Amino acid sequence: MSWARRAARAAAWLWAGMAWAAPPLTQVQDVLYKADGTPFQGSAVISWRSFIAADASNIPTNQVTVQIVGGLLRVRLVPTTNARETAYYIVKFNAEGRTQFTELWAVPPSATPVRVADIRIPSPPGSNVTPPPSVVQIADVMGLSEALAARPTKSIAFAPGRVAFIDAMGEIAAVSGAPGDCVRANGTVGPCGGAATIGFIDMETPQGAINGINQVFLLSQAPSPASSLHLYRNGILQKPSVDYVLSGNTVTFLSVSTPQPGDELTASYRTGGQ
C-alpha cells in the first residue's frame, strides 16, 4: 500500500472518529432542600427542543428523567449557552406523585460542576417576558382536593336570587317564603314582628337526682326548636340520640350516659320560636 493511500485512510479514520465523538458535557450537581430544611426527594424531568451544539452535534428533541435521592441532583448535559441557535432546558421537579414546580436552565460549558442557581433563568434566552406558569391541576396543590370536598354543595332546593342556608344534610338550599318574611338562624321563615317571642335559656341546671341511677331530668321549658338544646355533662357536649333523648322539656339519658354522683349538668336552649 502506497504512502498516499495510507495517509488517506488514516485521515478517513480520524474524520470518522471526530464525527462519532460525543459532544462535550457540563455536569450539573447540587443538593436541593425543601423550605423546612429537609432534603428534596423525587425526580427532575429535563426536556429540550432540537438544537445544534457548539461542536455541530445535532441534539434532537427529547427528555431525560433524573432521580433526586437525599436532595442530591447530578446530571451531565450538553451546554446551551454556546449553542449555534437558541436553546435551553425545561425542568419539572416531581415529588409525591405530582409536579411541584417548573424552571428553565441555560447550561454553560464548564470543566467543573455547576449548581442549579448558576444556570436557572427566569425566561427563555432572548425573551424579556417571563412565560406563564404551566397549568396547575387540582391534584397538584396539596390539600386542595380535601378542602373542595369539605365545601357545602348545592342541594335540589337551591335557587338563584334567594337567601341561602345550610340544610340538615350540609348542603346549600334556598329559603322559601314571602318577600316580606323574616329569616331565622335555622333557615325557617315567618312574618316579621309576630306574636311569638324567641327566648334564650343559658346554663340552666336540669332538675333531677344525680345518683348514678336516675336517667330522667326536667328543664324549666321545652326547647324550641328541639335542636337548639345544648346539653353538657361535666363541660362535655352530649349528643342527642347517642347520649340522651328529648321529649318536650324532659331529658332522658341513655344507660351508657347516666349521670354519676358528682357530675354537673347544664343546658342552654331557645324557647318560643322555630
Q: Is residue 47 part of a domain?
A: yes
Residue 129 carries which side chain, given as an amino acid letter? V
The verdict on 43 and 124 lying in the same domain is yes
> Contact 91/103 with Cβ under 8 angstroms?
yes
Among candidate residues 86, 110, 137, the one where a domain is terminated: 137
Q: Is residue 9 part of a domain?
A: no
Count the domains in the chain.
2
Among candidate residues 107, 137, 167, the one where a domain is terminated: 137
Q: Is residue 30 part of a domain?
A: yes
Neighbours of 97 (CB within 10 A): 8
Q: Is residue 46 part of a domain?
A: yes
CATH number, residue 79: 2.60.40
Among candidate residues 112, 137, 162, the one where a domain is terminated: 137
**For position 207, what pLDDT does the model report?**
95
Q: Which three cell numbers stand for residue 133?
A: 406558569
Q: Is residue 234 part of a domain?
A: yes
Residues of the domain holding 28: 21-137
Q: Is residue 99 part of a domain?
A: yes
pLDDT along the chain (274 residues), means of 10: 61 52 91 91 94 92 94 95 92 89 93 94 74 61 80 84 83 84 81 71 95 95 92 95 94 95 95 68
Q: Is residue 264 part of a domain?
A: yes
Q: What is the pTM of this model?
A: 0.44
**For position 98, what pLDDT does the model report?**
86
**For position 111, what pLDDT does the model report?**
93
The verdict on 120 and 42 lying in the same domain is yes
DSSP state of 140: G
Q: Which three cell numbers stand for residue 264?
A: 354537673
Three-state DSSP state, 246: strand
Integer-rounded Cα Rg, in Å, for the chain is 37
Q: Is residue 27 part of a domain?
A: yes
